[in-house]
Amino acid sequence: MMPKVIFFDINETLLDMQAIKKGLASVLNGDDTLVDLWFANLLHHSLVDVTSGQFHDFIDIGAAALTMVAHSKKIALDDATAKHTIKQYITQLPPHDDVIPTLKALQDAGLTLVALSNSSKTGLDAQLEYANIRPYFSHVLSVENVRTYKPHAAVYHWACQQANVKNEDAMMVAAHGWDVSGAKATGMQTTFVERSGKMMYPLGLAPDHSIGSLSELIDVINA
């Protein structure tokens, strides 16, 4: 069934996180291999907030995770420096090469496109503007409005309500298996984007579609 609304995750799915590696490596003794560890810790501790009934700004969690990674490698890093560094680079990420052509084609086909991110609304707006993709989205939704993080079911139900669409008539597109599984559990259609180094969580709910590049989403919709 063709979706009426397509929701897109932003970080890694649409925006290239490789651009942040050099920036964060500058406070990690130049070791850009630690950036993936930082992002995993960021996601992990956002879920700690979910399960413990807390809610902190995504940048604050990112800064805390960055100082933890630095500490584990015996690198001196204070919270203020960590937060400044993340803010500087997280809002200056370019889109993957397949993003703008795909969004344009989907928009031209009359589909409603929605950005749905764990980032704060301010940070998310800055990201989309920098990447020149804001005009493609009818809604820009941040989880800060519901004060919990994906993949909590409340996020997807709220997002569909905001877009005035039933869950089964909406599709979540993400390069994260946990995001796909979370959306699938609420009845949404799902598409996993196989970005470099990414794979579906083997024990998660299987996506309806798995694509090697975002451009293949056009074929999925047409089919």
Q: pLDDT digits over 153-210, tens only?
A: 999 999 999 999 999 999 999 999 999 999 999 999 999 999 998 999 999 999 999 9
Question: Three-state SS string across the chain, please?
Answer: CCCCEEEECCECCCECCHHHHHHHHCCCCCCCCHHHHHHHHHHHHHHHHHHHCCCCCHHHHHHHHHHHHHHHCCCCCCHHHHHHHHHHHHCCCCECCCHHHHHHHHHHCCCEEEEEECCCHHHHHHHHHHCCCHHHCCEEEEHHHCCCCCCCHHHHHHHHHHCCCCHHHEEEEECCHHHHHHHHHCCCEEEEECCCCCCCCCCCCCCCEEECCCCHHHHHHHC
- The CATH number of the structural domain formed by 5-16+94-222 is 3.40.50.1000
Amino acid at the residue 29: N
Query: For the domain bounded by 18-90, which CATH number is listed?
Result: 1.10.150.240
Query: In this prediction, what percent of the chain has a pLDDT beyond 70?
Result: 100
Domain boundaries, the chain: 5-16+94-222, 18-90
Relative to beta strand 170-174, strand 139-142 is: unpaired
Residue 186's pLDDT is what?
98
Stated pTM of the model: 0.94
- Could you give the angle at the alpha carbon of 125 between the alpha carbons of 160 and 99, nearest 5°? 75
Q: Tell me the mean pLDDT in the region 90-95.
A: 95
